[in-house]
Structure 1
Amino acid sequence: MQTKITIVGAGAAGIFCAGLLGQKGYDVTVFDNGKKLGRKILMSGGGKCNFTNLTVESSNYISSNPHFCKSALKRFTQWDFIQLVNQYNIAYHEKEHGQLFCDNSAQDIVDMLLKECQKGHVKFMMQTQVEDIDSDGQGFKLHTSRGMIDCENLIIATGGLSMPALGMTSIGYKIAEKFDIPVVPVRAGLVPFTLHKPLLDVLSTLSGIAIPVEVSNKRISFKENLLFTHRGLSGPAILQISSYWQAGESITINLLPDLTFDSSFKPLLAQNRNQTIKNCLAQILPKRFIEVLIRLNLIKDITVKQLDLKQQQDLYNTLTHWSITPNGTEGYRTAEVTLGGVSTDALSSKTMAVKTYPNLYFIGEVVDVSGWLGGYNFQWAWSSAFACAQAFN
């Protein structure tokens, strides 16, 4: 079988790129090992697909080269994708922090992308394993479970290792290594933390409780919800900080992100001085959580009036500087993104082409560009796919 352009990976970046190229008149075939197109799109955002964000900056991305993503993000912005969504009359809504979700279902986004592919007569070969790839300098030969495929141009859009249950594999990195393209070491990002057993035994009793916090390390902080689980800590704040966390490092949790000592916390204590600390704090934090803090000996089970001014300040400091050292993360099984990937040093930021193989391209999550939680990874998929498609005149 021969094809002008072969795309490996029928995820967000691969499908979008295929539609753009097909509509330019190119013969495009997309290969994927799964049964279903856009599997990660379909399950994202609780099935509603957080397809982009109203505010997209290069600072929302993690990469060994923080400037690499700027070109693609500038050439195809969130507004460009929103315009496409509007053309298909897909209803959507904004959540906190500029996140955009489908009103109905993530299937709306997949259907839109497939219709764009149909306009360009794109062919899909699903349940096809790519086993090896060779190059003769002019084109590529793909050894697949369906036989040999010859193509002039090859686009790798295989995603990362996150969510292996969806069929994600390391094939993209193996292809890069086959052509001596450096790969930045990969690890799970946007992933819940696990905890050491003594602390987990106590905190797991809070499973299901969420509280607004500001969580930080020495490099960055995020102000969002924290969710206690039976395995450890999750929620948006934890997922965000996990991408910046190094093994063995502690994180600091501010349990009172919107309360200052002088204007808020001190008056609260004054108004409830005859109550126990537990009952007083129950006005601003879940009572079950306060009981856990008492069990952990972080706060005392005494009345407010027993605290002098220094002890009041100490209590506030305890609640705003709770230090925890995670045991680790839940890994790729629940991670929403893979950090690291194909080195941007090897790629053109304008076309996503490999500098040493101008007809070989890498787009989407397989590249060493990872976004924050909130639609940023999908926007990178759209933007990098567009940049690649524009390389074909």
Structure 2
Amino acid sequence: MSGAHYDAIILGAGAAGLMAALTAGQRGRRVLLVDHADEPGKKILISGGGRCNFTNIHTAADRYISENQHFARSALARYTPSDFLEMVNRHGIAWHEKTLGQLFCDHSARQIVEMLMAECRDGGVAFSFGLPVTAVDHADGMFRVTIDGREHNAPSLVLATGGLSIPKMGATGFSLDLARKFGLPVVQTRPALVPFTLGEDEALFRSLSGVSTEVITRWGKTAFREAALFTHKGLSGPAMLQISSYWQHRTAIAVDFLPDAANDWLIEEKRARPRSAFRTALSRRLPERLAEALAERLQLDGEMATLRDADLRKAQGQLARWPFHPNGTEGYAKAEVMAGGISTKALSQKTMASAKVPGLFAIGEAVDVTGWLGGYNFQWAWASGRAAGEAL
């Protein structure tokens, strides 16, 4: 059965797809926005604990991971956090800034989805939600998308179905499959912003489930200072999620448990409180259960006065660069985003269009651009969606 003809068909009604649709629609383009889910923006709705960390005021291209570190720069420069915030303010959505430049809704993430849908309606965007796409073909300069037995046509197709993270929300590799079908290269994908798992050698730390403390975590030359959280499987919390995007299997991460401690602080503790136990000295600066576990691993016990200065200095060094050897991560089920994706080599950094297939675009998480935790990935979705929407 033949369907309608459009200027553009956008596959995926998440953050990037909604932005591309409203931008193109408000430019007078006839747009069909498609999603197999029964409502748009499902990942937006669960983000930020239901309050949507919709952007970060510190957005910059160096806070994104990609094979081409410069690819995101153009889109991010042309659509900034201030630009998105202008829309939020125009719709009367109350917001607040949390730590490290993260902006959240005061009330509900649903306000962001409703705002984007209202903007789409203002642009006359047509919607197809809750029905699967059964075929996508391209011939004679036209894309044909079959939905529920009806074929819809457009000279432009936008791949915006996201990545593989959080499959329980309906995430699939559909955009990646279509990219490969049309000959676009795909960078190896992996879970990112994801908790680590620890093996039996570090089971002692798994017993600390629920304990949290501020640390600096490092891998290679990359470091983040935020909270770390021990879980029954391993390591989580913002510091761990951040470093997970850089980590490579079978390598160690280093953790500084006392980033504000002065040099020789344990020596000073020994002189100030010689009768105090070593684990007690640690527990003055760290959660008690963590202090006990670290003291056990360091094999230092007894009163501080009985411990040699050399051993205390060695312990300080270990506490400043404590090695953890994750045996893996909790995978896409717990990953906030997917790293890797459609190669930026195949796309224009100005328009997100494929150089190889005229009229084909890719945006958002499906592309090999992955931001830090804290609103950066939403800002990439808005910026890349706007770039494509302006080019459609």
Is TM-score (shorter-chain normalized) higher than 0.5? yes
Query: Counterpart of 2:150 in structure 1: which amino acid?
Result: G
State whether residues 5 and 28 of structure 1, in contact with CA within 8 Å, keep that contact through their aligned partners in structure 2: yes
| Cross-structure match for 1:241 | 243
State whether residues 299 and 315 of structure 1, in contact with CA within 8 Å, keep that contact through their aligned partners in structure 2: no
Deviations 1:57-93 (A, max 9, x none): 1110000000100000000011111111111121111
Aligned equivalents of 1:387, 1:221: Cα separation in 2: 31
Aligned equivalents of 1:316, 1:184: Cα separation in 2: 41
Alignment of 1:286-325 (within 5 A): 286-295=287-296, 297-325=297-325
| Cross-structure match for 1:342 | 342
State whether residues 22 and 389 of structure 2, in contact with CA within 8 Å, keep that contact through their aligned partners in structure 1: no
| Cross-structure match for 2:212 | 210
Query: Counterpart of 1:135 in structure 2: which amino acid?
Result: H
Alignment of 1:149-160 (within 5 A): 149-160=152-163
Aligned equivalents of 1:291, 1:30: Cα separation in 2: 55
Shift of 1:110: 0.7
| Cross-structure match for 2:284 | 283
The counterpart of 1:17, out of the listed 8, 15, 20, is 20
Shift of 1:265: 4.5
SS at match of 1:332: coil
| Cross-structure match for 1:29 | 32
The counterpart of 2:232, out of the listed 212, 216, 230, is 230
Alignment of 1:247-258 (within 5 A): 247-258=249-260
Q: 1:57 to 1:299 in 2, by over 3 A?
A: farther
SS at match of 2:358: strand
SS at match of 1:350: coil
State whether residues 24 and 31 of structure 2, in contact with CA within 8 Å, keep that contact through their aligned partners in structure 1: yes
SS at match of 2:227: strand
| Cross-structure match for 1:260 | 262
Shift of 1:205: 2.1
Deviations 1:6-33 (A, max 9, x none): 1000100001111111111111111111
The counterpart of 1:194, out of the listed 197, 212, 223, is 197
CA RMSD in angstroms, aligned pairs only: 1.2
Deviations 1:213-252 (A, max 9, x none): 0111113111111001111100000000000011100111
SS at match of 2:359: strand
Shift of 1:128: 2.0
| Cross-structure match for 2:117 | 114
Q: Give me the identity figure in percent.
A: 44
SS at match of 1:268: helix
Aligned equivalents of 2:367, 2:210: Cα separation in 1: 34
Aligned equivalents of 1:284, 1:211: Cα separation in 2: 10
| Cross-structure match for 1:273 | 274
**Are 1:140 and 2:143 counterparts?**
yes
Aligned equivalents of 1:302, 1:89: Cα separation in 2: 60
Deviations 1:114-154 (A, max 9, x none): 11011112111112222332111311111333432211211
SS at match of 1:185: strand
TM-score, length-normalised on structure 1? 0.96
State whether residues 22 and 116 of structure 2, in contact with CA within 8 Å, keep that contact through their aligned partners in structure 1: yes
The counterpart of 1:221, out of the listed 220, 223, 240, is 223
| Cross-structure match for 1:103 | 106
Aligned equivalents of 1:385, 1:67: Cα separation in 2: 18
Shift of 1:270: 2.5
State whether residues 94 and 105 of structure 2, in contact with CA within 8 Å, keep that contact through their aligned partners in structure 1: yes
State whether residues 259 and 265 of structure 1, in contact with CA within 8 Å, keep that contact through their aligned partners in structure 2: no
The counterpart of 2:58, out of the listed 50, 55, 58, is 55
| Cross-structure match for 2:72 | 69
SS at match of 2:158: strand
Aligned equivalents of 1:145, 1:129: Cα separation in 2: 7
Shift of 1:100: 0.7
Deviations 1:283-316 (A, max 9, x none): 1011111222233x32412111112321221121
SS at match of 1:143: strand
**Are 1:366 and 2:366 counterparts?**
yes
List runs of 5+ in structure 1 lacking aligned partners: none
Aligned equivalents of 2:318, 2:273: Cα separation in 1: 19
TM-score, length-normalised on structure 2? 0.97
Shift of 1:280: 1.5
State whether residues 128 and 146 of structure 1, in contact with CA within 8 Å, keep that contact through their aligned partners in structure 2: no
SS at match of 1:25: coil
Shift of 1:183: 0.5
| Cross-structure match for 1:170 | 173
State whether residues 173 and 366 of structure 1, in contact with CA within 8 Å, keep that contact through their aligned partners in structure 2: yes
Deviations 1:305-334 (A, max 9, x none): 112321221121121111111010000000
Aligned equivalents of 1:354, 1:269: Cα separation in 2: 65
**Are 1:6 and 2:9 counterparts?**
yes
State whether residues 141 and 358 of structure 2, in contact with CA within 8 Å, keep that contact through their aligned partners in structure 1: no
Shift of 1:156: 0.9
